[in-house]
């Protein structure tokens, strides 16, 4: 709201990193609390920005996963305590969104007790190629290129990026899949957002998905970045 901060601030909202130490700590804390995710975690920046009066944030949730939407709440990640903190929340089942008043920016996610969620088939039995692609492609005007990997559940997924000369420029290992709901319907998938300053150009990417006792899945792709 107007006057909530002392001066103008550049505000951004992005999907929180889905790999790395901080992601693993957040996921472990969620599991210990018996919570399941109804949305991707979103990072509101500048991180820690406090408001003189509360602001309202609204997040979408995935209706295909949730059996009891009224049990959903927006949670924020309390990094100092290492816990997810529930906020008083309002669910709009028609719009498939949930809103909460917040006093500061942080990482926010829609969570609920695990029994509030519908049961999906265990993806571990379905390790197989379904789709691997990059979006947006081309990534223009500061958009973040993201690689989508739908292979069921793997032990390890590695994404490598190369310039057109074949020189490696970036590599990432993805920890765990999440449920993605796109035009193909809800399914388990890995998504990696390649953040940072990426010069304009054409890039190649390779994806290797591995699971014990099965042949690895390997795919190559191409993406463009235009600054």
Q: Are both 111 and 128 inside the same structural domain?
A: no
Contacts of 136-141 with C-beta under 8 Å, sequence gap 24+, read 137/223, 137/224, 138/223, 138/224, 138/225, 138/226, 139/198, 139/223, 139/224, 139/225, 139/226, 140/225, 140/226, 140/227, 141/226, 141/227
CATH of the domain at 87: 2.60.220.30
Alpha-carbon span 60 to 17, nearest angstrom: 18
How many separate domains does the chain show?
2
Residue span of the structural domain in which 129 resides = 123-226
CATH of the domain at 162: 2.60.40.10
Q: What is the pTM of this model?
A: 0.52
Q: Are both 221 and 140 inside the same structural domain?
A: yes
Classify residue 51: in a domain, yes or no: yes
Q: Are both 140 and 214 inside the same structural domain?
A: yes
Which of 95, 116, 137 terminates a domain? The answer is: 116
Residue with tokens 């463009």: 224
What is the pLDDT, as a whole number, of residue 118? 60
Q: List residues bridging with 37 in a β-sheet.
A: 111
Q: Are both 131 and 219 inside the same structural domain?
A: yes
Alpha-carbon span 217 to 221, nearest angstrom: 13
Classify residue 2: in a domain, yes or no: no
The DSSP result for 44-63, as a single string, is EESTT-EEEEEEEEEEE--T
What is the pLDDT, as a whole number, of residue 54? 83
Classify residue 1: in a domain, yes or no: no
Question: Strands 168-174 and 156-163: what pairing?
Answer: antiparallel
Alpha-carbon span 72 to 98, nearest angstrom: 8
Alpha-carbon span 13 to 87, nearest angstrom: 19
> Which strands sit side by side in the sheet containing 156-163, from one edge to the other?
139-140, 217-226, 201-210, 156-163, 168-174
Which residues are within 8 A (CB) of 181 and not within 5 positions of it... i.e. 6 or more apart?
62, 64, 187
Q: Two tokens at 48?
A: 């820690």
Angle at 79 between CA 195 and CA 98, to 5 degrees: 75
What is the pLDDT, as a whole number, of residue 186? 60
If the chain, 227 residues long, is cut into consecutive pieces of 10 residues, what is the mean pLDDT of each piece?
52 75 85 85 76 84 75 92 94 91 89 73 65 92 90 92 96 82 65 92 97 94 94
Alpha-carbon span 155 to 175, nearest angstrom: 8
- Describe the chain by its helix, strand, coil percentages, rounded to 5: 10, 50, 40
Q: Are both 101 and 128 inside the same structural domain?
A: no
């Amino acid at each position: 709201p107007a006057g909530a901060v002392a001066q103008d601030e550049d505000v951004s909202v992005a999907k929180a990193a889905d790999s790395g130490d901080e992601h693993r700590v957040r996921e472990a804390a969620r599991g210990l609390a018996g919570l399941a995710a109804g949305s991707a975690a979103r990072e509101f920046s500048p991180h820690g920005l406090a408001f003189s009066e509360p602001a309202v944030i609204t997040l979408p949730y995935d209706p295909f996963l949730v059996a009891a939407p009224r049990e959903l709440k927006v949670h924020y990640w309390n990094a100092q305590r290492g816990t997810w903190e529930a906020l008083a929340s309002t669910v709009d089942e028609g719009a498939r969104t949930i809103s909460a008043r917040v006093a500061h920016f942080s990482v926010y996610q829609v969570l609920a007790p695990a029994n509030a969620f519908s049961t999906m088939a265990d993806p571990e039995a379905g390790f197989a190629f379904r789709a691997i692609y990059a979006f947006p492609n081309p990534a223009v005007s500061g958009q973040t290129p993201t690689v989508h990997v739908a292979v069921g559940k793997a032990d390890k997924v590695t994404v490598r990026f190369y310039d057109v000369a074949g020189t490696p420029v970036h590599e990432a290992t993805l920890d765990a899949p999440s449920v993605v709901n796109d035009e193909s319907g809800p399914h388990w998938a890995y998504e990696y957002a390649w953040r940072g300053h990426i010069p304009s150009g054409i890039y190649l990417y390779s994806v290797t998905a591995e699971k014990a006792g099965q042949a690895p899945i390997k795919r190559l792709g191409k993406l463009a970045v235009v600054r």
